Amino acid sequence: MHRFAYKSLLASLLLGSSLSLAAPPPAYRQEVVVAGSPFQGVHGMALDGKGHLLASNLLGQSVHSIDLNSGAVSTLVGPPLGGADDVALGPDGSIYWTGYFSGKLMKRTPDGKTRAIAKELPGLNSLAFRRDGRFYVTQLGRADALWEVDPNGKKPPRQVISKPGFLNGFEFGTDDKLYGPILLKGQIARVDVDTGSIETVAEGFAMPVAANFDSSRENLFVVDSAKGELVRVRVATGDKQVVAKLPTGLDNLVVGPDDQVYVSNMVDNDIRVVNPADGSVRQLVEARLSVPSGIAVAPEDEDEQLYVADVYALRRVGGRDGKITQTTRALSTRMTFPMNVSLGAKHVVLSSAYLASVQVLERATGDILRTLPNTNGVQGALELPDGTLLVAEAATGRLVKVDAAEPAGTTVLAEGLKGPVGLAADTEAEEPGVYVTEVRSGNVTRVRLSDGARRTVAKGLKAPEGIARHPDGGLIVAEVGRKQLVRIDPATGRSTVLARNLRIGLPESEGLPPGYLPTGVAVGRSGTIYLTSDMESALYRFVPVP
């Protein structure tokens, strides 16, 4: 099991004064609520034949090597070059990986040289070599195609098939045909890459996402993400047998020469090893959170239960004890990948630039009430007292209002913002408004809800993202560019540094809006501040020191 060592420390505090706050803010003691992980959601894998497993980390923008004996994780390629959805080893020992957001196919030679060998292929997903060295990749989600690519990048990619139905994690058989899942059809298919013909091998899956051969080359192991099953398929007949039951959210697999099956799970951010002989499962790398981003806490909650937008899941985490009490999982439910979360009196509001949507959930039951597509790089979203939604479009620089009624109408409240990311409501004021962090300009801006009039509250910050209101009226902001937590007096704009040298702020990725994975901030009624760490997949709290 991979663990990190963390030490409680006293966050540094600068002297500051405030005209509107009754007293200077206290010093804070930093503590771990949920310890971190080496990944931000783990995806495709490959064995290097030397006792290590290569693993791709899309949102963490890294390619990792894992020791098969100890589970120790090291980084082969770090941010921002390593944004990998799948990874493969070439015949000469080069490592190849697919940039889902960047649309780039990357190559790292054995001497450590890294470059893109194909570009402008959004949604690049799976990849595999044929026995003769020919190289194939797919687009999935943002496009739907199978391509042949020159492993040296000298020739332009050649499209083999257009719109196969989302061909996912695949492998070539001894017949030099490609075997893999057609996700939209729930099938495992055989693809002749020379003619483009597709045949069905097996069907009846809910969400097949990857398939690899066993050592006999007569059977395929298939992972069904929605059902959480590892299934053995006999290629000659299409007969299926469930080998092991696993948590939902499975993403990929690789089969060792001893037929041990390594399975990645993006929701749980872990890798498990299945022995198909008896169905037993052990963990190679484990985690508690996947990609903690936005965070919220109800102001009336004495227990300070946190809602964590964990990208591949929505989780409830005890702010005091770190216990995860409830998880709504992506892929096996209708929930899209949440990157931001806010709470209303009856509803939870999620937003996702990853899958371009805003969702409204019933707070009591978790039922999804509305899903609203938005392709403008949505970041923060919150619900106003009348049910209207307020949404920050980081890509367009707009703050928009979405009607509570269906069909939803949209009104632009403010525009010209520079990468709006975080929102904090100020609806109890005489002139109700909302505070907005602008990651590009470094401003915290107040926008009046009645007419969109703007006032700069603070400026000179570097990449401010998450924002929350303290019970005494102060604003707590994650200043990601300086890796610190600051407190802002909304009347004077004066800021006070509460904590420095924080592990926050992965580099922004091509294909996602300003703010990328937002660093979330929430404040409980006790005055404890909660902060997510995208770099460590961890959750921290800052407790006031008496």
Q: Residues 378-400: what's their mean pLDDT? A: 97
pLDDT above 70 for 10: no
Q: Are strands 62-67 and 52-57 parallel, antiparallel or unpaired?
A: antiparallel
Taking CA atoms, 334 is separated from 43, 237, 291, 330, in Å, by 20, 33, 19, 7
Asked if 212 and 231 touch (Cβ cutoff 8 Å), the reply is: no
Instruction: Measure CA of the first residue to CA of the last residue in the chain; give whole Å.
Output: 37
Residue 292 reports pLDDT greater than 60: yes
Q: CB–CB of 136/182 below 8 Å?
A: no
Beta strand spans in 319-388 (E): 324-329, 340-343, 347-352, 357-362, 368-373, 378-383
User: Which of 240, 254, 224 lies closest to 44 in space, CA to CA?
Assistant: 254
CATH architecture of 289-544: 6 Propeller (2.120)
Residues 489-498: tens digit of each pLDDT: 999 999 999 9
Domain 45-285 architecture: 6 Propeller (2.120)
Output the pLDDT for position 23: 55
Which of 514, 545, 307, 534 has its CA nearest to residue 417? 514
Enter the tokens of residue 54: 């290569």
pLDDT digits (tens, 9 = 90+) for 31-55: 999 999 999 999 999 999 999 999 9
Residue 288: per-residue pLDDT: 96
pLDDT score of 1: 38
- Whether the pLDDT of residue 20 is over 80: the answer is no
pLDDT digits (tens, 9 = 90+) for 478-518: 999 999 999 999 999 999 999 999 999 999 888 889 999 99
The Cα 121–Cα 137 span in angstroms is 10
- DSSP conformation class of 334: S
What share of the chain in percent tops pLDDT 90? 91
Average pLDDT in the chain: 93
Looking up tokens 């961890």 gives 538
DSSP symbol at 27: P
| The dihedral formed by the CA atoms of 476, 481, 483 and 487, expressed in degrees to the nearest 10 | -20
When pLDDT is averaged across residues 136-156 and rounded to a whole number, the result is: 96
Predicted TM-score (pTM) of the model is 0.92
| pLDDT tens digits, one per residue of 82-126 | 999 999 999 999 999 999 999 999 999 999 999 999 999 999 999
- pLDDT tens digit string along 432-468? 999 999 999 999 999 999 999 999 999 999 999 999 9
Q: CATH 2.120.10.30 region(s) of the chain?
A: 45-285, 289-544
CA–CA dist 537, 545 (Å, integer): 26
